[in-house]
Amino acid sequence: MLTTERSASSFSEALKSDRFVVTCELNPPKGVNLDALLEKAEMLKGTVQAINLTDSAASRMTMAPIAVAHLLRDRGIEPILQLTCRDRNRLALQSELLAACALGVGSFLCMSGDPPSGGDHPDAKPVFDLDAVALLRAAHMLEFGRDLAGNQLDGSPSIVAGAVVNPGAADLDLELRRMEEKVEAGASFFQTQATYDPPAFERFMERARGFGVPVLAGMIVLKSGSMARKVNCNLPGVSVPEAIVQELEAAESPPERTVEISARLIREIQPMCAGVHIMAIGWESRIPEIVRGAGLAA
């Protein structure tokens, strides 16, 4: 049987432990120069338990993350491979899951994906043969030795499949029902949309905790007050409190204040969930400072 080797410090083992898990994400390049990405990944080794690799995020074409995931694993860095339904039908999605596992990559974040119309190839034809729930179900079936059509596999992969959830969704009841469907389909962890309101996040977690699946709270690193206002305008379900916006606008040193705010928010949400997923968007060098400020340094 084909299995993915996992060490005691792997992402899957960290999720099962009492340790507060820290993950982040990196975007593969639009091109073949991986120097900057690999430099960032090496810098983050020891600070984060795993690194998400995005799948042409926001429908902007980049290198397929499966290649980067394999290279990170060779460097002793745990990758989480984002896999979206936007560009592939069920044949290609299952094929990619198997290929990644054959390369030793076994952790995935299953997502529907943004429509191509908002990306840099707006005329690209969207696929969406499956949605995130069906993709999770496909991954679960592969683990049990069958494909979506019921055909038997020659060797079953070991897969850790996660999904996304939005604690600030306008219809939280619907979002939680969708979350429950993802759990039933095989989701073994969740990463949330960015959250900046600990009391509101706790209200979400009071209900989500009942599913018994680890939740990593998402956090976009806010570089300035203007960025915070843009997040409020452009990301549905994400709300940066006005107090944080003003704190950033009044900062003499925005980078230092960004680190302080991010660390403070992590400390506040730490008792509520299993970990945090940091989206630094170019400020990955600040992640170790944020993690130390939150009291989570190894």
% the chain with pLDDT above 90: 95
> Is residue 182 included in any domain, yes or no?
yes
The predicted-structure confidence for 161-176, as pLDDT tens digits, reads as follows: 999 999 999 999 999 9
Report pLDDT digits (tens) over 260-297.
999 999 999 999 999 999 999 999 999 999 999 999 97
pLDDT at 101: 97
Q: What is the mean pLDDT of residues 250-261?
A: 95
For range 235-249, the mean pLDDT: 96
Nearest to 8 by CA among 43, 51, 45, 49: 49
Nearest Cα to Cα of residue 114 among 61, 75, 72, 153: 61
Residue 3 forms part of a structural domain: no
Q: What was the pLDDT predicted at 4?
A: 41
Inform me whether the pLDDT recorded for 8 exceeds 70.
no
Higher pLDDT, 281 or 18: 281
pLDDT at 258: 97
Q: What is the domain range of residue 227? A: 11-292
For residue 4, tell me if it sits in a domain. Answer: no
CA dihedral sign, ordered 31, 280, 67, 156 = negative
Whether 1 maps to a domain, the answer reads: no
Residue 33 lies in a domain: yes
Instruction: Specify the pLDDT at position 298.
Output: 53
pLDDT (0 to 100) of residue 159: 96
Residue 140 has pLDDT above 70, yes or no: yes
pTM of the model: 0.94
Mean per-residue pLDDT, 201-207 = 97
In the prediction, which pLDDT does 18 show? 85
In-domain check, residue 274: yes
What is the average pLDDT value for the chain, to the nearest integer?
95
Counted domains in the chain? 1
CATH code: domain of residue 120: 3.20.20.220
Confidence bin at 102 (pLDDT 50/70/90): very high
Q: What is the pLDDT of residues 28-77, one digit of tens each?
A: 999 999 999 999 999 999 999 999 999 999 999 999 999 999 999 999 99
Establish if 298 belongs to a structural domain: no
CB neighbours (10 Å) of residue 260?
A: 16
5 in any annotated domain:
no
